[in-house]
Structures are given as structure tokens and as C-alpha cells.
């Protein structure tokens, strides 16, 4: 009898914790009517949650996704959740974008530049997490290639449109795990050694250094750049992480109790994309909609500039 009582008690505590955490969720921002937003990886997890919320705020949301069929299905579901507006404000558009292919990134940007008259917000959200060693279409280690290089090229190709649409914003989704990463210029592509956890952390550190250097380069243009960590969120990002079969029920209970939902995890992305509170704020790092301090290695401007220069060559912006 003690075990069922213990489980019931734990369940009640968990339910109370989740209710309190939900009550403390940041309030949604104001209208995004007339604004165009691109979100990478918008068919699931954080990106999907952000797309739904920004659609509610009447933005035109372009979902940049690798799997077009899954993205179209997610878009239909989001439209059903949010509801069509009688005045036609707010729109979801699906566009194919594979960040593991520089060719796909260029094709996506070419179409955006042909079809869109403005771009108010770019949210670099998509990511690969602790996958086995594999390479992108262009021969880059997958996590560094998708999480950093794909977004690096995407952002650079869309910079002109963002500047012409100023004031505009770039939001870079990183992770607290950047703390365990190092930028090793002798082995950026993990040809010498590969550790899936280290390489993920390195790609997330690269995200922050990229945002910092880009913010410096964009001073005075009216385009702001900020990075963030969403916290620990229940998404399919961890699909490559192996959990023993017997431990899965406990893991599922713990994740349900203590991990953020995708909507909770997306709040900082939504805040940085839409809130008047951060208008003009650039080059900062946020968590839970508040500015946070970074470790010195994430503020190393010499490393940030060197990483930028090498990335330009790797993605073909410079020969």
C-alpha cells in the first residue's frame, strides 16, 4: 500500500509543480500584424510553438523546413489551432529548407528574395542534437554544419532584405550546453576526433559567437541580433539519445514533470522576436526572457572574428 501512496503523492506534487510553472509563463506580446517572420525548423518543437504564437499575433510566418510533407501537416494543424482570421491578417507559408545542404539554403534564400518585399524577423531555430558521426551534403560534420554553417549562410544571404526592412531582428537559438564546447580551429570538421556531446556544445558556442560578431557588424543598421537558451524542453531533438528500455518510464515521468513544454521553451524566442522591451537591444544572450551573463569564452571577440572568417570560406561566401 505504501508504494501506490508514494506514487500518488509524487503525482500530486508533480501536478502542482506544473500548474505553478504554467501560471508563471510570460504573457504573450502584442500585435505582429504586417510583419514577416522566417523560422527554421518550424514543423516541430520550439519552432512549431513559436510559429503558432506569432501567427496568433498576426504575423506572416514562413516555415523553413527540411521535410515539406511534415511541414505542410504541421501548418494545417497550426491553422486549425489558431483559427483563420476574418480580416486575413496572419499567414503561414511553408518553404523547403535543408540546412545540411548549402545548395538548398541558397535556393530558399533566392526564392525569399524574389517573393518577399520585407523580412522583419529571422529566427535561427533548427538544430541537430548529439547525432552519430555523419556529414552534410557538402562534407561538414552534421552538427556544426547544420547548427552553425547552414544558419551562417542563410543569415548572410538574407542580410540585405533585413537591412531594407529595418528595424528588424535576428534571433539565434543556442543552448546552455555551449559551456562545454570549445572552438578548435585545427579540427572544426571533427576529422581527427568526434564526440557527439562535445560537437553539439561546440556548435552552440559557435551560435553565440556568430550572433556576437554579427551584432558588431550590424551596429547602426537598425538590425539587432540576440542569442538565447530555451532551457530543457520536451522535443524530438533528443531522438539520437539512447535511453535504456527499463529507464524510459521514469525518464518520461521526470521529463513530463520538470522539462518545459515546447510552448514554454519558445517563450524567449517569441519575446526577442516581438517584444518592444528589446527594441534596439543587440549582441546579448537571454534565458527565460531575461538577459544572462556569458562565460568569457563566449565573449572572445578574436575567436568570434576568426570563426566568422573561416565560416565565410567554408560556405563559399569567400573563395
Whether residue 262 contacts residue 39, with contact meaning beta carbons closer than 8 Å, is answered with: no
Whether residue 64 contacts residue 94, with contact meaning beta carbons closer than 8 Å, is answered with: no
Provide the 3-class DSSP secondary structure of residue 139. Answer: coil
Q: Which residues pair with 62 in a beta bridge?
A: 38, 93
DSSP letter at 150 equals I
Please indicate whether residue 200 is annotated as part of the active site: yes
150-176 core/surface letters (b: 16 or more CB in 10 A; e: else): bbbbbbbbbbebbeebeebbbbbbbbe
Catalytic residue among 133, 194, 200, 285: 200
- How far is it, in rounded angstroms, from Cα 53 to Cα 205? 27
- Cα 319 to chain center, whole Å? 29
Active site residues: 200
Amino acid at each position: 500500500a505504501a508504494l501506490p501512496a508514494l506514487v500518488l503523492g509524487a503525482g500530486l506534487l508533480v501536478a502542482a509543480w506544473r500548474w505553478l510553472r504554467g501560471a508563471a509563463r510570460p504573457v504573450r506580446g502584442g500585435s505582429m500584424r504586417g510583419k514577416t517572420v522566417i523560422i527554421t525548423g518550424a514543423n516541430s518543437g520550439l519552432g512549431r510553438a513559436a510559429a503558432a504564437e506569432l501567427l496568433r499575433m498576426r504575423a506572416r510566418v514562413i516555415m523553413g523546413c527540411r521535410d515539406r510533407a511534415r511541414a505542410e501537416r504541421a501548418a494545417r494543424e497550426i491553422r486549425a489551432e489558431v483559427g483563420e482570421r476574418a480580416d486575413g491578417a496572419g499567414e503561414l507559408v511553408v518553404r523547403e529548407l535543408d540546412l545540411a545542404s548549402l545548395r538548398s539554403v541558397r535556393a530558399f534564400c533566392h526564392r525569399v528574395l524574389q517573393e518577399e518585399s520585407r523580412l522583419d524577423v529571422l529566427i535561427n531555430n533548427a538544430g541537430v542534437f548529439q547525432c552519430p558521426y555523419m556529414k552534410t551534403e557538402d562534407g561538414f560534420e552534421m552538427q556544426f554544419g547544420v547548427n552553425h554553417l547552414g544558419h551562417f549562410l542563410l543569415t548572410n544571404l538574407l542580410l540585405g532584405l533585413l537591412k531594407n526592412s529595418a528595424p528588424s531582428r535576428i534571433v539565434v537559438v543556442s543552448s546552455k550546453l555551449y559551456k562545454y564546447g570549445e572552438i578548435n580551429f585545427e579540427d572544426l570538421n571533427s576529422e581527427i576526433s568526434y564526440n557527439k556531446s562535445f560537437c553539439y556544445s561546440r556548435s552552440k558556442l559557435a551560435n553565440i559567437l556568430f550572433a556576437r560578431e554579427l551584432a558588431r557588424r550590424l551596429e547602426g543598421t537598425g538590425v539587432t541580433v540576440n542569442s538565447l537558451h530555451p532551457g530543457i524542453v520536451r522535443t524530438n531533438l533528443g531522438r539520437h539519445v539512447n535511453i535504456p528500455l527499463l529507464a524510459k518510464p521514469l525518464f518520461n515521468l521526470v521529463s513530463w514533470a520538470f522539462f518545459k513544454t515546447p510552448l514554454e521553451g519558445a517563450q524567449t524566442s517569441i519575446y526577442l522576436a516581438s517584444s518592444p522591451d528589446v527594441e534596439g537591444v543587440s549582441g546579448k544572450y537571454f534565458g527565460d526572457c531575461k538577459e544572462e551573463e556569458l562565460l568569457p569564452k563566449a565573449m572572445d571577440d578574436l575567436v568570434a572574428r576568426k570563426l566568422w572568417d573561416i565560416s565565410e570560406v567554408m560556405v563559399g561566401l569567400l573563395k
